[in-house]
Structure 1
Amino acid sequence: MLDTLGLAADAEALYRTMVTRPAWTIPEITAQLDMSDMRIRVALDRLAEMKLVHASWQDPHRLVPVSPSVGLRLLLASAESDVDRHREKLEQTRAAVAALVEAQDAARTREGVVRLEGLDALHGRITELAALARTEMSVLKPGGGNHPGGVDATRHLDEKILRRGLLLRSVFQESVRGHSASFGYVRSLARLGAQTRTVPAVPQMMFTFDDQVALVPLDPSDPSEGALEMRSPGAVATARALFEQVWVSATPIEQTSRRCGGRPIPLERVLLELLAEGHTDQTAARRLDCSLRTVRRMMAQIMAELNARSRFQAGLRVAENGWLTPVDEVFE
Structure 2
Amino acid sequence: MFFMQESTFDKNTQKILQCFDLSESLGVESPFLQLKITGVMSADLIARLSDIYNHSSIATRQILVKSVAASMSGQDMRMQPFDQLEPKERESLMLAVQRLKEIGQCASKKTVRILVDAEYTYINPGLSLLTLAMMVAFNQQFPLIWNTYQCYLKKTFETAASELGIVQNLGGCFGAKVVRGAYLTQERLRATKLGYPSPIWDSYELTNQNYNRVIRYFLEHINQVGPRCNIIVATHNEESVQLAIERMREMNIDPLNGGVHFGQLYGMCDQISFPLASAGYAVYKCVPYGPMLEVLPFLARRAMENQGVLMGSRKEKTLLWQELKRRMKNTLKMKSKHNLKVETV
* Fold match (TM-score > 0.5): no
TM-score normalised over the length of structure 2: 0.30
TM-score normalised over the length of structure 1: 0.30
Greater helix share, 1 or 2? Answer: 2
